[in-house]
Amino acid sequence: MTQEIIGKKLGMSQIFGDDGKVAAVTAIEAGPCVITQVKTMDKDGYNAIQLGFGEAKRLKSPQREHLKGLGQFKYSREFRLNNTKDIETGQKIDVSLFKAGDLVDITGVSKGKGFAGVVKRYHFAGGPKTHGQSDRHRARGSVGASASPGKVFKGLRMAGHMGNKQVTARNLEICEADPNRNLLLIKGAVPGGRNGLLLIKKSGRGK
């Protein structure tokens, strides 16, 4: 069976543990999701399932035909699986997939910060504040050599658009899983802003 679910970030809060210590948690509305398509190695060349999440007010004609008899979903995401045996369209995936203490990997789109310099974007130290460098306080240093190689390499850390990228936070601990409310409480912060879409997957790595 699948180990993934789609969710929506509700915000952050605090809870008290059994030892009386307070912990910051992120509340996530996880599911329920419906399996809208099953892809197999024989038919599609790989094994995967497609999950639908969230209620859509209206759909385009191709989407209505694709989801015929399953519902109207705002979001649709595909997850690869090793085996799709015993999985059928129409099955529901909910928070009962998880329990307190499980480790999960959560993928979301980070908050966009607009155009930012290297000090804010990459935590550069900046230039010297004295010795005549009056306008280089927050500037980056050299971007490369002159004659050899005579170019600026791709990927060099420079000022530019900060955030608004897909980010995966790994090995996050589940503090509470409530299937009745479709609620997950995750210890710490997760990527993205409030109401942002999240992909939640059981972690394959240990602590």
- CA-only gyration radius of the chain, Å: 23
List Cα–Cα distances, 112 to 158, 161, 163, 166, 170, in angstroms: 17, 8, 4, 11, 21
Q: What angle do CA 22, 196, 9 make, to 5 degrees?
A: 30
Q: Half-sphere exposure of 180 toward its Cβ, with a 13 Å CA cutoff?
A: 0
Measured distance CA(12)–CA(189) in Å, rounded: 8
SS3 187: strand
- DSSP H helices, 19-159, are 41-44, 61-66, 118-122
Within 10 A of 176 (CB to CB), how many other CB atoms are there?
Answer: 16
Q: Of all residues in the chain, what percent carry a pLDDT higher than 70?
A: 98
- pLDDT score recorded for residue 160: 94
Within 10 A of 103 (CB to CB), how many other CB atoms are there?
Answer: 16
Over residues 31-80, the pLDDT tens digits come to 788 888 888 888 888 888 888 888 888 888 888 888 887 878 888 888 88
pLDDT at 96 over 70: yes
- pLDDT score recorded for residue 12: 92
Task: Give 205's pLDDT tier (boundaries 50, 70, 90).
Answer: low
Predicted TM-score of the model (pTM): 0.81
Measured distance CA(6)–CA(199) in Å, rounded: 5
pLDDT at 24 over 90: yes
pLDDT at 206 over 70: no
Say which amino acid occupies 184.
L
Measured distance CA(61)–CA(75) in Å, rounded: 16
Task: Give 10's pLDDT tier (boundaries 50, 70, 90).
Answer: very high
Helix (H) or strand (E) holding 160: strand 160-162
Peptide bond into 32 cis (omega under 30): yes
Question: What are the structural domains, with CATH classification, of the chain?
Answer: 4-112+165-202 (2.40.30.10), 113-162 (no CATH)
Measured distance CA(90)–CA(182) in Å, rounded: 18
Over residues 101-137, the pLDDT tens digits come to 889 999 999 999 999 999 999 999 988 888 888 888 8
